Amino acid sequence: MANSAPIGVFDSGVGGLSVLREIHAQLPHEALLYVADSGHVPYGEKSAEFIRERSQRIAEFLLGQGAKALVLACNTATVAAVADLRERYPDLPIVGMEPAVKPAAAATRSGVVGVLATTGTLKSARFAALLDRFASDVRVVTQPCPGLVECVEAGDLDSPSVRQLLQGYVAPLLAAGCDTLILGCTHYPFLRPLLRELVPADVALIDTGAAVARQLQRLLEQDDALAAQPTSHPAQFWSSGAPAQLEQILPLLWGSSAVVRALPE
């Protein structure tokens, strides 16, 4: 496969744009393909079987567009589908997401770490294994956050209603003594400015977008598959929801406008 081939990235909706930004910053020469499965957002309340099916379908689409690597820019999709995709495509570089338990456990001073995530992520065996592996010496307090994904999907990052919702989720974590908060969903980094207003300055906010971009770079370097020249088409976008809705929100979440095409079903 040519080094100029694109990297395929997908999420249940617009949250993965936070990861796409990190990939573009880390690998500015690479061409990027992004699929927002907004017709089925949020994944957090869906069955694992449904998410595996969607992930397989989107992976096939991205590979059909010539993708040389896949990034599951969604914690819930990673939990449900990354093992299946790696088994199906053993020679393809595939990077998933997982909540930043290891760096959070290393960063905490109080010994108490809070996790903001979707219900699907918090209930998963993969998350339980992360806790067993990296958080045996700290107390982890989890907080499911229904409704936050939908706020970000609508471009609502700082209204009184989202502020009230987020305050309600953060308050019990702070009351429990958390000095480190894991943003365990790719939608949540877009709420970082609002979170900074709601939590004390010495509370660390940790997500894994930059780490995913670095891992992707390592895998492409191993395969000698990094782009040699800057691309003339930095990013292309598809949505299984309303393309016009993603087009409207791209300047806010991606930083520039672009044409969004309908994902073929």
Residues annotated catalytic, as ranges: 74, 185
Three-class secondary structure of residue 132 per DSSP = helix
Query: Hey, which bits of the chain come out as E strands?
Result: 7-11, 32-36, 69-72, 94-95, 112-117, 139-144, 180-183, 204-206, 235-239, 260-262
Question: Which of 175, 165, 44, 154 has the alpha carbon at shortest distance from 99?
Answer: 44
Task: Give helix 17-26 / helix 243-253 axis angle, nearest 10°.
Answer: 50
- Residue 104 near residue 59, CB atoms below 8 Å: no
b/e map of 79-90 (b: 16 or more CB within 10 Å)?
A: bbbbeebeeeee
**Residues in the chain, total:** 265
Three-class secondary structure of residue 7 per DSSP = strand
Question: Which of 100, 91, 90 has the alpha carbon at shortest distance from 19?
Answer: 100
- Residue 65 near residue 238, CB atoms below 8 Å: no
C-alpha to C-alpha distance for 255 and 265, rounded to whole angstroms: 28
